[in-house]
Amino acid sequence: MNQIYENYTQEDQEVWGILFNRQFKNIHHSATEEFSKGAELIKFTPDAIPNFDETNKYLQELTGWKVTAVPGIVDDDKFFELLSNRIFPATTWLRKREQLDYLEEPDMFHDVFGHIPLLANQPFVDFLQGLARIGLKYLDNPWAIHLLSRIYWFTIEFGLIREKGELKIYGAGIISSPGETEFSLSNKPEHLAYDVEAIIDSSYRKDTFQTKYFIIEDYEKLYSSLPVIEKVIEDRLKMAPENYV
């Protein structure tokens, strides 16, 4: 599937600009420095929906990654295969003006605005690729994939980082959500140090804000935790619930 750029309407471009300006202002002091840096390096602006061909030229030079268009959420095997080959799948459809504040299914604002800028950070993408390789190893084990999804959820989607003594956002699920941006940094949820075992033992919900967030100290330590992730999953498989599907 390709991104057919000429299919975007004037309304699509306007919606992108509205969402971009609103959220970029919202996260200017809340998101990890690497997000703003990455967005600048890959030339993201509110003036136009990113063209994947152009974005890929920048990403290839920076980290060797690229973005590919997909129709929607992809199956685990395809998802892990793409990531293991340094390809990030992103949908190309954008919400309508009347859907600015909430969607049940991620659109390209989440996939592209939320995820792509951090693909310019090498330790981060190395971690992402490492998670995918673990996923490919356990494709035939639904319980292992479920445990791995908890790591992905509490890092790639809803992770926090401590930078210069302050809590910052790096998870795409927060970065693309005005409401969760404010909530995640408030005193309402739990803020916990990054701990692989604690994350793997934590369930999550997709229909509300998270009740807790895990904080990394830097992206290099996130990447270096991959062997621990694999080891903890191996240990938990020995205690897997029967007939998990």
- Kindly report the CATH number assigned to the domain that includes residue 78: 1.10.800.10
Total of domains in the chain: 1
Residue 40 lies in a domain: yes
Residue 18 lies in a domain: yes
Residue 80 lies in a domain: yes
Tokens 């991959």 sit on residue: 226
Residue 245 lies in a domain: no
At residue 175, does pLDDT exceed 80? yes
Sign of CA dihedral 205, 182, 45, 124: negative
Tokens representing 237 are 């498989």
pLDDT for res 245 = 45
pLDDT for res 71 = 87
- Determine the Cα angle at 179 with ends 80 and 115, to 5°: 25
Average pLDDT over residues 173-187: 94
Phi, psi of 70 (to 5 degrees): -135, 155
Average pLDDT over residues 136-160: 96
Residue 73 lies in a domain: yes
At residue 244, does pLDDT exceed 70? no
Tokens representing 239 are 């205690």
Query: Model confidence over 210-231: pLDDT tens digits?
Result: 999 999 999 999 999 999 999 9
DSSP label at residue 1: -
Distances in Å between the Cα of 38 and the Cα atoms of 89, 116, 215, 225, 244 are 18, 8, 20, 23, 39
Residue 126 · residue 223 · CB < 8 Å: yes
Q: Where residue 40 falls among pLDDT bands split at 50, 70, 90?
A: very high
Query: Model confidence over 73-130: pLDDT tens digits?
Result: 889 999 999 999 999 999 999 998 888 776 677 889 999 999 999 999 999 999 999 9
* pLDDT > 70: percent of the chain: 96
Residue 228 · residue 221 · CB < 8 Å: no
Distances in Å between the Cα of 161 and the Cα atoms of 131, 197, 239 are 19, 18, 31
Residue 243 lies in a domain: no
Residue 244 lies in a domain: no
**Domain ranges, residue 74:** 5-237
Gap between the Cα atoms of 171 and 85, Å rounded? 21
Average pLDDT over residues 150-176: 96
Enter the pTM of the model.
Answer: 0.93
Nearest to 18 by CA among 135, 133, 100, 137: 100
pLDDT for res 28 = 83
Residue 47 lies in a domain: yes
